[in-house]
């Protein structure tokens, strides 16, 4: 019986290692020019190494990583993607980042989206819209305090507004970064203005050491703008 279990574990580990090697090969073959403006390759390389070092526990995470890389390689090259695709990508990216924190850390993900909504699968937004929010949440959150948390909330309302809200307990490092300037945030907001003109609203505030970023996109206005450009 023990020999059978050992053989099963060995075969599973070999399968995981092969899956990792395939992912690493796909990563290395990416066109770096398309990645530079959309994500940090070194960060993903570190995630790959982290996943490999926890091979027994993270088979699920490897599948999520494959989803993220597929999105970057294929849909990420398009000018527009759907809300469905962006949420799927974001949830996979969140799951990947969970491996870097304690299993007991409070990470909340909530989605309020009707799959029958007319804009759910319509390609209206630029790919990887939520990437910076997710990366910054894990980068600047307090991961040590007992009451610390990170919260992600996606909503597609009946009136055609897409909401994405991220809240996290702010770390001391984030407070220092905020005091020394916010070029990363300013660059991201500038990118939003280029992409969405007057079709977005970005709110950022800190209250009781909780940092919150709330992005709203007017999908109806984006649809009209897109039709005007392509028409």
For residue 31, the model assigns a pLDDT of 44
Closest to 101 (Cα-Cα) out of 61, 67, 66: 61
47-99 pLDDT, tens digit each: 666 566 555 555 677 778 788 888 888 888 888 999 999 999 999 999 888 88
Looking at the 3D structure of the chain, how many domains does it have?
2
Of 59, 77, 95, the residue at which a domain comes to its end is 77
**Calpha distance 197→190 (Å, rounded):** 10
Pure H helices in 29-179: 32-36, 41-53, 59-73, 83-97, 131-140, 172-179
CB 152 within 8 A of CB 110: yes
Residue 93 placed within a domain: no
Percent of the chain with pLDDT over 70: 68
Residues 130 and 18 in one domain: no
pLDDT digits (tens, 9 = 90+) for 146-158: 899 999 999 999 9
* Cα–Cα distance measured from residue 123 to residue 111, given in angstroms and rounded to the nearest whole number: 19
- 201 has which bridge partners? 216
Do 20 and 112 sit in the same domain of this protein? no
Report d(CA 87, CA 81) in Å as an integer: 10
Residue at 90 is within a domain: no
On whether both 113 and 202 belong to a single domain, the answer is yes
CATH code, 214? 3.30.565.10
Domain assignment present for 196: yes
Which residues lie closer than 8 Å to 100 by C-beta, 6 or more apart? 47, 50, 138
110 and 53 within one domain: no
Residues 121 and 211 in one domain: yes
Q: Hey, how many other C-beta atoms are within 10 angstroms of the C-beta on 30?
A: 16
Domain encompassing residue 200: 103-231
Query: Do 149 and 192 belong to one domain?
Result: yes
On whether residue 83 sits in a domain, the answer given is: no
Are residues 162 and 217 both part of a single domain? yes
Within-domain flag for 88: no
């Amino acid at each position: 019986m023990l020999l059978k279990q050992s053989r099963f574990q060995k075969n599973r580990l070999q399968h995981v290692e092969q899956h990792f090697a395939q992912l690493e090969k796909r990563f290395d073959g990416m066109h770096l020019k398309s990645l530079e403006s959309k994500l940090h390759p070194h960060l993903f390389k570190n995630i790959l190494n982290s996943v490999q070092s926890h091979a027994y526990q993270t088979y699920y995470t490897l599948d999520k990583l494959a989803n993220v890389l597929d999105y970057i390689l294929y849909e990420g090259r398009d000018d527009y993607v759907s809300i469905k695709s962006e949420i799927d990508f974001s949830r996979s990216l969140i799951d990947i980042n969970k491996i870097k924190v304690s299993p007991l850390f409070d990470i909340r993900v909530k989605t309020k989206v009707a799959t029958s909504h007319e804009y759910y699968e319509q390609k209206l937004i630029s790919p990887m819209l939520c990437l910076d929010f997710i990366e910054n949440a894990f980068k600047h959150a307090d991961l040590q305090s007992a009451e610390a948390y990170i919260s992600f909330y996606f909503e597609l309302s009946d009136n055609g507004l897409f909401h994405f809200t991220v809240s996290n307990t702010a770390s001391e490092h984030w407070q220092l970064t905020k005091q020394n300037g916010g070029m990363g945030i300013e660059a991201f907001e500038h990118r939003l203005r280029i992409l969405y003109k007057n079709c977005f609203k970005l709110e950022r505030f800190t209250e009781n050491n909780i940092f919150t970023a709330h992005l709203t996109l007017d999908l109806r206005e984006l649809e009209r703008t897109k039709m005007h450009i392509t028409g």
